[in-house]
Amino acid sequence: MTGGQRLSSDDLSAAAGDGDAAAAEQVFWAAGCASCHAAPEAEGDALLTLAGGQRFPSDFGTFVAPNISTDQQVGIGGWSFEDFATALRNGVSPQGRHYYPAFPYPSYAHMTDADIADLWAFMRTLPADQTPSAGHELSFPFSIRRSVAVWKWMNLDDEFVLGAADTESLARGRYLVEALSHCAECHTPRNAFGGLVKGRWMGGAPNPSGKGSIPNITPGALDWSATDIAYYLGTGFTPDYDSAGGHMARVVQNLARLPDGDRQAIAAYLKALPPVAPLDGGG
């Protein structure tokens, strides 16, 4: 693992602009960038202005999403492609500072070079916004950024969690779930240090906001058919035709922009997961 190191163009097999624009936009939605980095309450085209400002309470304090628009001063308009790739893969800023893993780089680290290049090319086309990033509001000792280096050593992993993915659909599903869409960040419980508990992968977790819980989506608790799962991810409709709310409503809006085959691939992945037994009181 090269955590902490800066990537150079020699480390990357693709360059920004190699891919096609439509594919690049799909990487952006699959990766869910706008769900956290758009301004609070943004809808429609405003989702493309990555002004930051949404607040994410957690056990460690409140994280505030930064401005990652193309503004030269307060956004990432002055970054190079290598800066961007280093941030996504190693969780390190152009100034060499560690990012807190509220930014899901442990998932993005699995992204292909080609997808990182596509994503960068697409994000370069988005509007600039001059809203300065607000700082995170973290409690000691989590306010010490250097402690993140230790966290990375404990938690970054080159391997996918689902070992076997022997069909094309399952491999695509694994890539979407574990790399781009970073589902485990909410659906997998964390240990006292904020690391994901791999033994309960996708087994549900308390909501970091403190209210309620995020469901277990392994076959140990979720008994929907693959068709129902794929349909839910595209429309928000559960098999009872209730509809998704909260943060998941935004995830559905992202995934609805992907081809049918991608949603079916995610469903295939969830069906292939080792079942995690529900905890008492649901999960």
Q: Shortest gap between Cβ of 76 and other proteins (angstroms)?
A: 27
- Between 16 and 248, name the residue whose CB sits nearer to other proteins: 248
Examine residue 279 and tell whether it contacts other proteins (CB under 8 A): no
3-state secondary structure of 173: helix
Element (H, E) at 81: helix 81-90
How many C-beta atoms surround the C-beta of residue 2 within 10 A? Answer: 14
Q: How far apart are CA 282 and CA 274, in angstroms?
A: 18
Q: Which region holds residue 56: left if phi is over 0, alpha if psi is between -120 and 50, else beta? A: beta
Nearest to 107 by CA among 51, 161, 53: 161
Examine residue 212 and tell whether it contacts other proteins (CB under 8 A): yes
Examine residue 223 and tell whether it contacts other proteins (CB under 8 A): no
Tell me the window of 23-31, 101-109, 138-146, 244-252 that interacts with other proteins (CB under 8 A).
244-252
Examine residue 277 and tell whether it contacts other proteins (CB under 8 A): no
Strand partners, 71: none
Q: What is the torsional sign of CA 217, 114, 129, 106?
A: positive
- Between 174 and 263, name the residue whose CB sits nearer to other proteins: 263
Q: Shortest gap between Cβ of 205 and other proteins (angstroms)?
A: 11
Select the residue interacting with other proteins from 235, 271, 278, 279 (CB under 8 A): 235
Select the residue interacting with other proteins from 95, 158, 241, 280 (CB under 8 A): 241
Q: How far apart are CA 212 and CA 191, in angstroms?
A: 18
Phi and psi angles of residue 196, each rounded to the nearest 5 degrees, phi first = -70, 135
Examine residue 213 and tell whether it contacts other proteins (CB under 8 A): yes
Q: Shortest gap between Cβ of 243 and other proteins (angstroms)?
A: 4
Tell me the window of 25-33, 136-144, 161-169, 235-243 that interacts with other proteins (CB under 8 A).
235-243
Applying the rule CB under 8 A, the residues between 10 and 69 that interact with other proteins are 41, 43
Residue with tokens 């960068």: 120
Examine residue 243 and tell whether it contacts other proteins (CB under 8 A): yes
Q: How far apart are CA 102 and CA 142, in angstroms?
A: 12
Q: How far apart are CA 184 and CA 246, in angstroms?
A: 17
Select the residue interacting with other proteins from 92, 214, 226, 265 (CB under 8 A): 214
Residues that bind other proteins (CB under 8 A): 41, 43, 207, 211-215, 227-228, 231, 234-237, 240-250, 252-253, 256, 282
